[in-house]
Amino acid sequence: MADGSSIQVSAKEALLTTAQVAARLGVSRQYVARLLDMKQLPFVRVGSHRRVRAVDVEAYRVERQIRRRSALDRLVAYSEEINGYAAPE
């Protein structure tokens, strides 16, 4: 905060709109709707609207980051394998 950057404080049980989820994940609202439709992100209905718990969004974000890092590691290993490079020790 001292350097001028913003922070966001939220309760773990806070319910977020699909637009808020999209903003936190850095994706479109339509993409979030597809995640909900495919049951990759749990939600509750509030009237006719879907809401997602903040804690579930954070868990999804962390899992997505782990999957991305793993995929990148596999890609690097494969690239080194086909190009004959030895991995640094």
DSSP helix/strand/coil, 84: coil
Tell me if residue 44 falls in helix, strand or coil.
strand
Residues 49 and 17: beta-carbon distance below 8 Å: yes
Domain-wise residue ranges, the chain: 15-83
Neighbouring residues of 85: CB distance < 8 A, sequence distance ≥ 6: 79
CATH code given to domain 15-83: 1.10.1660.10
Rounded CA-CA distance 20/86 in Å is 44
Instruction: Report which of 9, 6, 31, 7 is spatially closest to residue 21, judged by C-alpha positions.
Output: 31
pLDDT in tens, 1-44: 566 666 555 566 799 999 999 999 999 999 999 999 999 999 99
Check residue 16 and give its pLDDT.
97
Q: What is the pTM assigned to this prediction?
A: 0.68
Q: Is 32 buried (19+), middle (13-18) or exposed (0-12) by CB count in 10 A?
A: buried
